[in-house]
Amino acid sequence: MNTPWFIHFSRPQRSRLRLFCFPYAGGNAHIFRAWAEQLPPWVELIGVQSPGKGSRALERPCTTVSEMTGKLMLALEPLLHDKPFAFFGHSNGALISFELSCMLQERGLPLPRQLLLSASPAPWTREFEQPYSAMSDEEFKAALQDLNGTPQEILANRELLDLFLPGLRADFSLSETYVYARARKLSVPTSVFYGEHDEIEEHQVHAWQEEIEPPIRFDRLPGGHFFIHSHLELLTAMVGSRLRELEVQDRASRSLESVA
């Protein structure tokens, strides 16, 4: 798998499922490094690293969801056929993983066994009073400090922040320019996680059900928008539980096939 899009954090010799993890705006694939010790040992954990982030900081970032998912699809497609997979996305990552799932469905390609959406309103409910992408560089840097999602070692180093600034600005442009336009609902089992102290309204969270066909499982976690960090063990335990349920379903299916 020779592509800069994916970083392996665990690669079991006999992995039974791939979990692709999509970071929030201002984060990069390495926010998922600690998950390797928390998830079931048979899960192949892969962080998604987009242009302009982390080791790809000098690459031109994607500024629209369609551009990102189109390029990501080329890297992803070879990994869809040999074993089951699931998507986890936090905040902006939820939007990307949802849209990518819709693309897979439209193209008749294998779908995620589970779509795990975290800390994100349904994208068609979003409203932007002051788009971050329209801010001056200084206004945007100040906003990053308030959001508390970008590593402090970047925010505290002006040269480093200037290096990562195009990628960070592009992150916010993704959701601000996105328009949902799909002809049919997504038919993928989905779980939605949200923080009880997040600023996202609960009706925005539950609006995901409008465009996802199977009944969604909604789980409220303690904490605010970044419960992915403040309640890491709880979140990964819940994610692991969802993936273990897939294992149980597969074993039951194989047992029925052997009887038949």
DSSP run (H or E) holding 117: strand 115-118
Residue pointed to by tokens 């779908």 = 111
- The residues that bridge with 17 in the sheet, in sequence order, are 43
Our answer to whether residue 91 is catalytic in this structure is yes
- The residues that bridge with 87 in the sheet, in sequence order, are 20, 115
Say if CB 214 and CB 185 are below 8 A apart.
no
Q: How many CB atoms lie within 10 A of CB 59?
A: 14
Q: Which of 50, 55, 66, 91 is catalytic?
A: 91
Residue pointed to by tokens 């925010």 = 155
Task: Label the pairing between strands 43-48 and 6-10.
Answer: antiparallel
| 3-state secondary structure string across 32-73 | HHHHHHCCCCCEEEEEECCCCCHHHCCCCCCCCHHHHHHHHH
Catalytic residue numbers, as ranges: 91
